[in-house]
Structure 1
Amino acid sequence: MLLVKSFSFAVRIVKLFQYLAKRKQEDVLSKQPLRSGTAVGALIREAQNTESKKDFIHKLAIAQKECDETVYWLELLKETEYNYGEEFLSIFENANELLRIIKSSILTIKQKTLHPQFISHHS
């Protein structure tokens, strides 16, 4: 689920960048969410190939930071008149949802790592 959602989010971020470029508003401010927003999915995919839970959590934590940075850039775009209606708000909500899912995933994995006997009896 996280892989699919993060990839779909990256596609939406690329389309936002393309939209801004078509309107001749592609600049440093629009490149920032492109970089951080597409990094989220790449890091989540990379996490799938880690060799330890510790490394997996580390990669997800970096993805979380990139997602939070993307939320920041989207907020800045919104507050500086780059808000382009419902589609923009939808991407913003999508970013916040993805951030919540990543945070929740990290917490769940940490709990399973710290208390494997509890999880195995109650899963």
Structure 2
Amino acid sequence: MNSDNILEVKSYAFALRIVKLSRYLQDEQKETILSKQILRSGTAVGALISESVYAQSKPDFISKLHIAIKEANETQYWLNLLKDSDYITVKMFESIEPDIIELLKLLTTSLKTAKENNV
């Protein structure tokens, strides 16, 4: 991981939080279905960003960022569902929600820049 790449660093840190959240849901809440869903989508964001660093072409790079945005959006959905179904507290939600919002903003900006420079 390139420590100069803010998107890689933040997505990796977010993935770690998601792994811990999933473990909490499985251990403390005895919830497995939603915990696996958020684990899959929440860690996919960072994996796709990591893949994009070594994309084969500009269109491949853009494609990977598009998919990362979709995964981030899905993760936000699962976080809201976990909060609204009382699997996580509002405090837990408010602790992690800014991270996914920030990732979505960074991804959107990166994608916009990549597309503008692709002409």
TM-score, normalised on structure 2? 0.89
**Within 2, Cα distance between the matches of 1:75 and 1:8?**
20
**Higher CA-based Rg:** 1
Indicate which of 44, 69, 75 corresponds to 1:70.
75
**Within 2, Cα distance between the matches of 1:53 and 1:63?**
15
Unaligned residue ranges in structure 1 (runs of 5+): 115-123
Check the 8 A contact 2:65/2:107 in 1, yes or no. yes
SS of aligned partner of 1:81: coil
**Within 2, Cα distance between the matches of 1:18 and 1:30?**
8
Per the TM alignment, residue 85 of structure 1 is displaced from its structure 2 partner at its CA by 4.2
The corresponding residue for 1:107 is 112
Check the 8 A contact 2:29/2:87 in 1, yes or no. no
Deviations 1:54-84 (A, max 9, x none): 1000001011100000001111111111232
Alignment of 1:1-123 (within 5 A): 1-114=6-119
TM-score, normalised on structure 1? 0.87
Unaligned residue ranges in structure 2 (runs of 5+): 1-5
Per the TM alignment, residue 8 of structure 1 is displaced from its structure 2 partner at its CA by 0.3
Q: Equivalent pairs: percent with the same residue? A: 52
RMSD: 1.2
**Within 2, Cα distance between the matches of 1:48 and 1:42?**
10
The corresponding residue for 1:118 is none
Quick check: which one's helix share is greater? 1
